[in-house]
C-alpha cells in the first residue's frame, strides 16, 4: 500500500471537470484515485499526472454495481482510505422535448448521473464511516437548480443529485462526513463542445451575467474548498459555480 496522508477519489477523471479536479487534488498534496469508464484517456491522464504526485487510474463504469464495488475495493487497497471524493462522472443526452425523450435515453442518463453517482456515494460513505470521516462533493448542474428546455432527463437527474446530497448530508452530519453538491454553469469542456455549437454558445453568452464560459479549473477550485477543513461547517449545500447565471 502506498503511503499517502490525504487521499481523493474522482470519478469522470479522464476529461473536463473531473480531470481538472483530480489535478487540483494532486496539486494540493492528495494522492488521487482516477476513475473513468474511458480506459485509454484514463491511462493517459494517469501518465500525464504522475510527475505531479501519487495517482492511480482505475477503469470503472459507475452505472455497473459490481464494477463500482471492485473499483472501490481496489482504491482502498491502494491507499488505505478516502478522505475526499468528487462524483463527477456524467453524461448529457441531446436536446429533446420532454414527451419525445425515449425510455432508452431516460434510463441511460439516470443510470449514470443519478444511480451511478449513488452507487459510488454509498461506498464512499461506508469507507468514511469506517475511518472516522471525510468529505464528498457530488456534481449536479445549473440544470439541477432550474429546468432547461429539451433536457428533461438530464435536468431530472441533476435535481435528483441535489435531493440525494441533502439527504445523505443529514444522514451523516454527526459522523464527521460532509456531503455537498456543486452546480456548474456553462463550462468549456469536451462535453460542452460536443453538445453546443459555437454559434449557440455565442447566443447564450449575450444575456449571461459574466459573459463568458467557465473553466473546469474554476469548478475544481470550489470542490477543493468544499473538501477542505476550511469548509468544516458546510454540508448539504448545492453551490452554484456559474458566473452569476442562477442569481437572475
Ligand atoms: N460542461 C458543463 O457545462 C457542465 C455543466 C454542468 C454540469 N456538468 C457536469 O459536470 C460533470 C463533468 O462534465 P464535463 O463537462 O467535464 O464532461 P466530459 O464529457 O468532458 O467528462 C465526463 C467524464 O465522465 C466520464 N464518464 C461518463 N460516463 C461514465 C460512466 N458511466 N462511468 C465512468 N465514467 C463516466 C467520461 O468518460 C468523461 O471522462 C458531469 O456530471 C456533467 O453533467 C457539466
For residue 34, tell me if it sits in a domain: yes
Instruction: Report pLDDT for 3.
Output: 63
Asked if residue 101 is part of any domain, the answer here is yes
Give the chain's domain count.
Answer: 1
Has residue 247 been placed in a domain? no
Average per-residue pLDDT in the chain?
97
DSSP per residue over 85-107, as a string? EEE--------B-GGG--HHHHH
The answer to whether residue 154 is catalytic is yes
Q: In whole angstroms, what is the distance from residue 198 CA to residue 21 CA?
A: 25
Contact partners, residue 178, CB within 8 Å, separation at least 6:
134, 135, 136, 169, 226, 231, 232, 234, 235
Q: Is the pTM of this model over 0.95?
A: yes
pLDDT reading at 132 higher than 80: yes
33, part of any domain: yes
Name which residue sits closest to atom 1 of ligand 1, judged by CA: 187
Q: What confidence tens digit (pLDDT) does each residue in 70-107 have?
A: 999 999 999 999 999 999 999 998 999 999 999 999 99
Q: Is 243 in the pocket of ligand 1 (CB under 6 A)?
A: no
**Average pLDDT, stretch 44-53?**
97
Structure confidence at residue 4 as a pLDDT band (50, 70, 90):
confident
3-state SS assignment for residue 207: coil
Is residue 51 classed exposed, middle or buried when 0-12, 13-18 and 19+ CB atoms within 10 A define those classes? exposed
113 Cα: distance to centroid of ligand 1 (angstroms): 9
Is residue 185 situated within a structural domain?
A: yes
Give a yes or no: residue 47 inside a domain: yes
Give the residue, out of 9, 14, 16, 146, with the most ligand 1 atoms within 8 A of its beta carbon, to mutate for a pocket test.
Answer: 16
The CA distance from 182 to 223, in Å, is 7
Residue 85 lies in domain? 7-240
Q: For position 80, which CATH number holds?
A: 3.40.50.720
Is there a domain that residue 104 lies in? Answer: yes
How far is 162 from 166, CA to CA, in rounded Å? 6
Residue nearest to atom 7 of ligand 1 (CA): 141
CB of 93 sitting under 6 A from ligand 1: no
In a domain, 245, yes or no: no
The residue contributing the CA closest to ligand 1 atom 41 is 90
Q: Ligand 1 center to residue 184 CA distance, Å?
A: 11
* Pocket lining: 186 vs ligand 1, CB cutoff 6 Å: yes
Cell digits of residue 7 = 487521499
Amino acid at each position: 500500500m502506498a503511503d499517502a496522508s490525504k487521499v481523493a477519489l474522482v470519478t469522470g477523471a479522464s476529461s473536463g471537470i473531473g480531470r481538472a479536479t483530480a489535478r487540483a487534488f494532486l496539486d494540493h498534496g492528495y494522492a488521487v484515485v482516477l476513475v473513468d469508464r474511458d480506459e485509454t484517456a484514463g491511462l493517459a491522464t494517469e501518465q500525464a499526472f504522475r510527475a505531479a504526485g501519487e495517482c492511480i487510474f482505475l477503469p470503472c463504469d459507475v452505472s455497473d454495481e459490481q464494477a463500482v464495488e471492485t473499483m472501490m475495493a481496489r482504491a482502498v487497497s491502494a491507499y488505505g482510505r478516502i478522505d475526499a471524493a468528487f462524483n463527477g462522472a456524467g453524461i448529457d443526452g441531446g436536446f429533446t422535448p420532454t414527451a419525445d425523450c425515449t425510455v432508452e435515453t431516460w434510463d441511460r442518463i439516470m443510470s449514470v448521473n443519478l444511480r451511478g453517482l449513488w452507487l459510488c456515494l454509498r461506498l464512499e460513505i461506508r469507507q468514511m464511516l469506517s475511518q472516522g470521516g471525510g468529505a464528498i462533493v457530488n456534481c449536479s448542474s445549473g440544470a439541477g437548480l432550474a429546468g432547461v428546455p429539451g433536457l428533461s432527463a438530464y435536468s431530472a437527474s441533476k435535481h435528483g443529485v441535489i435531493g440525494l446530497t441533502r439527504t445523505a448530508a443529514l444522514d451523516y452530519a454527526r459522523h464527521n462526513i460532509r456531503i455537498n453538491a456543486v452546480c456548474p454553469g456553462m463550462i468549456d469542456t469536451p462535453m460542452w463542445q460536443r453538445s453546443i455549437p459555437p454559434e449557440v454558445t455565442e447566443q447564450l453568452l449575450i444575456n449571461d451575467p459574466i459573459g463568458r464560459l467557465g473553466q473546469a479549473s474554476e469548478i475544481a477550485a470550489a470542490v477543493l474548498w468544499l473538501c477542505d477543513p476550511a469548509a468544516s461547517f458546510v454540508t448539504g449545500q448545492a453551490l452554484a459555480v456559474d458566473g452569476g447565471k442562477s442569481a437572475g
